[in-house]
Chains A and B, each alone.
Chain A
């Protein structure tokens, strides 16, 4: 009958945990290597090229950082919500709305406003817009118990379609020669650069520190964790759960909104409908991979950005199909996420047909 028995692990020595994780990465390299060979390619060359493509030249390093920045900040925003077990999968929409908020300031504030002030206002507007977009599902969840998953997901489309409408309709740039796009930001609304990369990277590092301190060293962060762990306990401790949910979500959405501002003012130089570029969904993966730890999140996102950039590079440089890059990425994810299962459960062969579905009765 049941030849394999699965039981939950209670505690795992740190050593064993590291071994399992390293094993997962090695296995993923091995497996993707086999698949690459099936394509008739040399795995060693592909792996080398991926690394080369990610960090081979200063330009490529810059590109990798540009990918890592929005991913990191979005992941951090998601971590704040996920800590509370509020499944915010609406980061796409929050990023889009944040970009919209920044654009309102960028385009409609007089050109004479000095750049630092304008950028600060854009930052605040993006936080506000992103925050409000997350606040809506939060208040409904807090007051009426609606399901946040479907709610945040749907809000994504509303945000994106609304920006599309602006792009094709009222905000269409008359000077674009009929091309449906919104006017480019004036120069004083663009993110300045530091060391060749726009200052979004500084914002990302500040955000890492902020989320780390917020979750671990503030009362609000503590409340969020308690609400996430046990709603009843929070209630019995006299916490104002509605207010905690709403605040945490406002912060979560606000951070995602900042991503929108960085992408609009640093990369696109205007507002476009696909501004979120799937970062909102990819960040869910990276948030989980970092086990909701802000500092780990930074490194996970950098690694992820390297994989993305390296994957793009091998397509161009080696002329291999984009599927190869996706396969490598997918295999790595499969093994790393799969190893979580072995970290939490013990799998053993049962000597006899033993039904161990329940723990000790």
Chain B
């Protein structure tokens, strides 16, 4: 999901709607999400065969492109100029370290910064809560609360096992 948020320029927010499709334990399942600007995000467990893990697909007015950790970019015919293979796709972690060191020098945020990570996790947890409850949920990214659903809000946190706590 972090790659989708990054590509959508949505690193500082989350979707506002989570709509699960499929029962628990079933596959395939999907969770259809929607951002405040109308952009759609589909979280699904099937359909990325051969792309590796962390696979993503982007669909727009001019075509589609999809890629994953295997280092291959597949596209529709209309975007065939962007098809490519990365020989160094396994170096992603190394590039993150380089990006972090560069950010220390430049005093700018790294691409995978803390806020982007937090918002991605919030979005994933919200999606899973919708999946567990099996119903569409509305979400307010400004307050990190579900709108009009007490049960969903109760699932946002859990009591920690003693003696642990967050301070």
Asked if A pairs with B, the answer is: no
Give me the interface of A with B, judged by CB distance under 8 Å.
Answer: none
